[in-house]
Structure 1
Amino acid sequence: MVSLLCSLRQHADEIRCCSFSASLLATCSGDKSVRVYSTADFSERPFSPLTGHGYGVHCCRFSRCGARLLSCSTDGSARLWSPETGEPAAELRHPERAALRVCAFSPDSASVLAGASDGTAALWDLGSRTLRRCSAVSDASVVACCFSPCGQMFVTGCTHGNLKLWDLDFSLLHEEKDAHDLGVACCSAAPHFKVDDCCVEFRLASCGQDSQLKIWIVSQQDGAGRSTPLLHTLTSQSAPVLSCDFSYDGEVIHGLSHAAVLAPCLQNLGTLLHILKQHTGYVTAVALSPSAPWIATGSMDRSVNVWRIGDGDGPAGKHSDKAGFRRKRRACSGLLPADWTEEDVQSWLREEGLAELVGPFRANNIDGPELIRLNRETAAELGIESVGLRGRLVRKIEELKAEQDGPEAPDEFLCPITRELMKDPVIAADGYSYERQSIESWIRGKNKSSPMTNLPLQTSLLTPNRSLKAAITRWRSSQ
């Protein structure tokens, strides 16, 4: 099942990219702006649009924890923004002011990668806001890039159709020539990887002007990169596939072309799950929400459509259950149940299929505080004679209370070693963030390899991850 939640039409030019965080949707356009919407009701934030780029904006990305928003433009700059206030945080300039076509955060949000029209890629360190390196990676425009999920490699794609795998020192590990005959349009790495005998392996999706969506297995072992044979090619489209992205569980890959969304499940490769035909122009951007079964599509028709995919328990939405989706809808009022009015409570009853209780609740003036105090005994005092109906009411109230407790901590807030919420996150030499005490204990125990990749740690130096710490603090305050 696919349903259109809303259509956003604030941009004055074609949409070039979309990106979700847990609570926000960002879009960018040829109109030189980035717009930010709340996913509670998809209303535009007061500080939006974000302006400052001198030319059209090609790409926008949230960091994995959602604490940073990145955009890049034809003006040769990549800009960092605060997603909460819209304030500019930094401007990263390409040394030759070449037009930047694509950008990406590293998995730990410590680095930014951008591909340029002159065939170069630039890598910045966000801690110091300094350019780490800028080198030629192609003799054509670089229009696609992504980091490997381990953060130790990155992939670039160009308009000549080649895909290349690099280490962080810009040493070429592998090249897939003519991966897409008419040019690569986008590439995306699955969020998970596996390590076996010091070999890091992950899945990569790419799409292009040849109307194909391809899924590869990429691996790196002992400092050498290689790509195993192509895993699958999807050829059901008759138009260029301009964007692709993995779901947050890595099980579904979405590809977009003119007026269509391909959503093949990796457990059943080649299955076309959905076709969406509401856009009147080429679909140029896709983004999947990490917190709900939603997908955003951007088009040359200047609109962004937000869709609900599945019912929350299918492949496209297995990362968000029905209760989580209801929680998002109730957030539209901006109120917790304890602050609900009598009318809010009555609306909730209708939403939960308990419309027959609206009369008794209205007669007894039940508002939010009274609602969450109800139990089987006090529900009987309202004149609800049916035992089954009282039981349903009490179960719904218990679900509501559980929703107020908030979701579990996002996975990126947990230390990979202890799986506990981090208090003092630090970045190790493998590019991953750990709780300081845990990784220090790991290193003192003569473990000289990464807990995540099993590859040797080049140094024991630990760098405080202040942005992640701030994001965890904000999350804890919201709970």
Structure 2
Amino acid sequence: MVKLICTLTDHSDDINYCAFSSSFLATCSLDKTIRLYCLSNFEELPYSPLKGHTYAVHCCCFSPSGHILASCSTDGTTVLWNTQNGLKLAVLEHPSGNPVRICRFSPDSLYLVSGAADGSVILWNVQTLKVHRSGSVQDGSLVACAFAPNGSFFVTGSSCGDLTVWDDKMRCLYNEKAHDLGVTCCDFSSQPVSGNKQEFQMASSGQDNVIKIWIVSSADPIGMELRCKHTLSGHTAPVLACAFSCDGQTVISGSVDKTVIIFETNTGNILHTLTQHTRYVTTCAFAPDIPLFATGSMDKCVNIWQFEPKKLFTETARKESPKTSIENWSEEDVSVWLCNHGLKALVEIFQKNNIDGKELLSLTKESLADELKIESLGLRNKVLRNIEELQMERKSACEAVPDEFLCPITKELMKEPVIAADGYSYEKEAMENWIVNKRHSSPMTNLPLQRLVLTPNRTLKMAINRWLETQPVHNQNPRS
């Protein structure tokens, strides 16, 4: 299910953080540099590495549009970089001068949070590059931060184990002792809980060897609330990093035990344990639009992983993966399908005639009787009924377009996806019409669009094209 597709070895010291935009992968290190890679082939960009920090770089993150990269360092600064040319846009000096451990953009790109070793939290105005608000936790260093997807609040994690919820006025809304020995990372799922735009899932990891899944609610009249949904166990040492997949169905984590574990969010079950790193795993991140994730380690390596389609061996697996093309079934898959439908007596006949997925779909009443020599009318009819069901599943698979491929405005499959200033992707023509009609607010958040420039989302377009190629309808020859 998971395949290692690339290992990046350009840094000369420990990897501290990695982050994805829709086009790039950024990595930062104790070697004082940030490196940028093209997401389509993982080649390093000509203007990489980015140099400017005088000490170790602890964290890096992209703005929602991907045009700006922020990095923070022991040198007490947060630097903003232009991702198109690698030029330095600004240097934000933390008021306390303490090492800055974490930085994160708000979903609307208006603000940037930076947290320092002395527990101070700064909310920067990205447009004016001035301090908008500041605050501080009671104890410990700031080591983790994540914005809620709706941008109405953000959460920080400290080395003393607290998760603190803040609003954009830097008012402390809630505080929770989450991990006894210290928080190390936190991350929100981009998907609201059961469609409720006031409830989100958040993962936090800690020095206590576990990951916790929280339900964070900001709905009135309850006020702000954090409640623990799951505690995920499996690591044998402190967990240094955690991250949600785009659909919120899985969580990955990296640990001092040198392993990466992939959990199923809803059940807490371990899906995979990856052991390729040779030292502490310090960071992990999912790509926003494609089934990739990255892990970084003190072994100076960044591993790029890809989720592979599940191979269908049981009827249950088929129901869980209806989009997998039946034409790709092996003879073994067909045999399992027969057994699951009470047709075990036909397995030997099908195997002798090398019936795979394509052959299965082409079977007719005549071929079952004349070529496969199945004498029982009842068995022939049962095979045909189940093949008809497969054809219906096949049709449904073609129609079930992944949500992330649909334009939020037209609700149709995107052909020319573009990224707007709100960080969301839209069909180019639909978004242009939206702007032409003097709607300068985001279709998703209703907040003002700070810029009206639309950037082609080539990564998403490639993902859509790859998906289309797996669809039987797309592959049919119109002349046949």
Shorter-chain TM-score bucket reads: 0.5 to 0.7
Task: Give the superposed CA RMSD.
Answer: 3.9
Aligned to 1:285: 283
* Alpha-carbon spacing, 1:477–1:194, altered in 2? closer, same or farther (3 Å): closer
Aligned to 2:450: 465
Q: Alpha-carbon deviation of 1:82?
A: 1.8
> Aligned AA for 1:55?
Y
Aligned to 2:182: 183
In our comparison, the structure showing a higher alpha carbon Rg is 2
**SS of alignment partner, residue 239 of structure 1:** coil
Q: Alpha-carbon deviation of 1:2?
A: 2.4
The answer as to whether partners of 2:263 and 2:269 remain within 8 angstroms in 1 is: yes
**SS of alignment partner, residue 455 of structure 2:** helix
Aligned to 1:302: 300
Distance 1:423 1:12 in 2: 36
> Aligned AA for 2:142?
V
The answer as to whether partners of 2:26 and 2:34 remain within 8 angstroms in 1 is: yes
Question: How many residue pairs are counted as aligned between the two chains?
Answer: 370
Unpaired runs of 5+ residues, structure 1, are 323-406, 428-433, 444-449
Q: Alpha-carbon deviation of 1:464?
A: 4.0
Determine whether 1:44 maps to 2:44. yes
The answer as to whether partners of 2:157 and 2:186 remain within 8 angstroms in 1 is: yes
**SS of alignment partner, residue 242 of structure 1:** strand
Distance 1:164 1:131 in 2: 20
* Alpha-carbon spacing, 1:210–1:145, altered in 2? closer, same or farther (3 Å): same
Distance 1:186 1:15 in 2: 15
Within 5 Å, give how 1:176-255 maps onto structure 2.
176-177=176-177, 179-193=178-192, 200-222=198-220, 225-255=223-253
Distance 2:88 2:37 in 1: 17
* Alpha-carbon spacing, 1:410–1:32, altered in 2? closer, same or farther (3 Å): farther
* Alpha-carbon spacing, 1:200–1:95, altered in 2? closer, same or farther (3 Å): same
Aligned to 1:351: none
**SS of alignment partner, residue 229 of structure 1:** strand
* Alpha-carbon spacing, 1:435–1:130, altered in 2? closer, same or farther (3 Å): farther
The answer as to whether partners of 2:289 and 2:460 remain within 8 angstroms in 1 is: no
Q: Alpha-carbon deviation of 1:17?
A: 0.3
Per-residue deviation, residues 115-163 of structure 1 (Å, max 9, x unmatched): 1111111111212222111211332100001111110100011000011
Q: Alpha-carbon deviation of 1:222?
A: 3.7
Distance 2:183 2:251 in 1: 17
Q: 1:273 aligns with which of 258, 271, 287?
A: 271
**SS of alignment partner, residue 43 of structure 1:** coil
**SS of alignment partner, residue 263 of structure 2:** coil
* Alpha-carbon spacing, 1:425–1:313, altered in 2? closer, same or farther (3 Å): farther
* Alpha-carbon spacing, 1:7–1:439, altered in 2? closer, same or farther (3 Å): closer
Within 5 Å, give how 1:63-462 maps onto structure 2.
63-177=63-177, 179-193=178-192, 200-222=198-220, 225-257=223-255, 258-267=257-266, 269-311=267-309, 414=408
**SS of alignment partner, residue 231 of structure 1:** strand
* Alpha-carbon spacing, 1:187–1:68, altered in 2? closer, same or farther (3 Å): same
User: What TM-score, normalized by structure 1, do the two folds share?
Assistant: 0.68
Aligned to 1:367: none
Q: Alpha-carbon deviation of 1:424?
A: 12
Q: Alpha-carbon deviation of 1:224?
A: 6.5
> Aligned AA for 1:129?
L
The answer as to whether partners of 2:217 and 2:224 remain within 8 angstroms in 1 is: yes
Distance 1:416 1:107 in 2: 22
**SS of alignment partner, residue 469 of structure 1:** coil
Distance 1:92 1:412 in 2: 38
The answer as to whether partners of 2:419 and 2:455 remain within 8 angstroms in 1 is: no
Distance 2:162 2:183 in 1: 7
Distance 2:324 2:115 in 1: 37
> Aligned AA for 1:265?
E
Distance 1:90 1:21 in 2: 20
Distance 2:5 2:184 in 1: 27
Distance 2:155 2:14 in 1: 26
